Structure 1
Amino acid sequence: MTRLLLAALSAASLASLAGPAAAEVASRSENAFRLTFERPVTASPEAILAAAGRPAAWWSDAHTYSGSAANITVDLQPGGCWCEALPGGGVKHAETVLVWPGERMVMFEAPFGPLRGIGADAVLTMSWADPEGGAARTLKWTFVVNGPGAGAMADVIDGVTAEQFGRLVDHLGGAAGS
């Protein structure tokens, strides 16, 4: 199996095992870390999938190269680009590797920002589960990163990723009390 496939399967497995933490550096070593984020949202499965493909609606301008999240697009097809337009060019932040609406999951190979500079393998898995008797469903992100010295970056990347996750939850109508 390829390293990407192993990382993707690992991320999917870990996502199903993670506890109900709102945001957490779930594990860390010198060269790896795993972040987990989980919150209830009121949006439909279709709205969640649509929002995953439109980060310009919820991503922070402060965490872009161009200064504007409006320049970000995502093609939700395997091989699709999570890209940002720049004057005269652009940047590929991530690549879509899995879109599985029936399983309510989207996965990206996503060495965002400084992770690309260290040659890290990074997989962001977004999943959403139906509620058990409630109106809200659970939105979950699992971000698994492996690369030289990556563990030292976990807290900083956790902060940025937690902000983006929170902005998506707010966009999707975070459930009361979440």
Structure 2
Amino acid sequence: MRLSVLTLLIAGLTATAAAHASVVTAEAGGFQVKSTLTINSTPDKVYEALSNIGQWWNLAHSYSGKAANLSLQTRAGGCFCEKLADGGSVQHMVVIYADPNHELRLNGALGPLQTEAATGVLILSLKAQGNATELTEIYSVGGWTKGGWVSWASPVDAVLLDQITRLKNYVETGKPTK
């Protein structure tokens, strides 16, 4: 997966405007992005769908080009991993906190951030809103990259918004896209 920052930005711009996404901060040493959207389902159904990541993750943001090769074990120490051809694999992130139906935290550098001296924490928080769920995604990244992290923040924010929008669609319709 050799995606440029521009490619990430373009892909993310196709995400729905129904969600609220923002770059919280972007500095030379790191950035934080945040998105919030409402999913018309209960937190238990949304949390369950998280573990079916191969059903909703955008294959354009995979190394194998096949979303079905992705898996996510929603338990501490669980792997957000991907199978590659010829027995290869990728560890995208590791679950560091799992509170079913409430919050999932993962540690790791996604996609092209893996080629940098980066680490990140992704928090997915679920909050019941009647028969719906408010999903808040926060990704904090720090470390070293040539030129700093400022230019990375918006494209990463857009890609993550695309992913959680696909999750929303999957939970609500059974398909990641409308």
Q: TM-score, normalised by structure 2?
A: 0.80
Q: Assess if the C-alpha contact under 8 Å between 2:35 and 2:138 holds in 1.
A: yes
Which of 111, 114, 125 is the equivalent residue of 2:112?
Answer: 114
CA RMSD of aligned residues (A): 1.6
2:66 corresponds to = 68
Supply the distance in 1 between the matched residues of 2:21 and 2:122 (Cα, whole angstroms).
14
Q: Which runs of 5+ in 1 are unaligned?
A: 1-20
C-alpha distance in structure 2 between counterparts of 1:152 and 1:33, whole Å: 10
Higher relative contact order (CA 8 A, sep 6+): 2
Offset of residue 155 of structure 1: 1.6
Q: Which residue of 2 aligns with 1:8?
A: none
Match of 1:165 in 2: 164
1:99 matched to 2:62? The reply is no
> In structure 1, which of residues 121, 124, 148 is the aligned counterpart of residue 122 of structure 2?
124
Match in the other structure for 1:136: 132
4+ aligned runs moved over 6 Å, structure 1: none
| Residue 141 (structure 2) aligned to one of 140, 145, 149 | 145
Using the aligned pairs only, state the percent identity: 30
2:9 paired residue number: none
Distance 1:62 1:140 in 2: 23
**Contact 1:81/1:94, CA 8 A, preserved across alignment:** yes
Q: How does 1:9-20 map to 2 (within 5 A)?
A: none
The TM-score, its normalising length taken from structure 1, stands at 0.80
User: Unaligned stretches of 5+ in structure 2?
Assistant: 1-18, 174-178
* Other-structure match for 1:36: 34
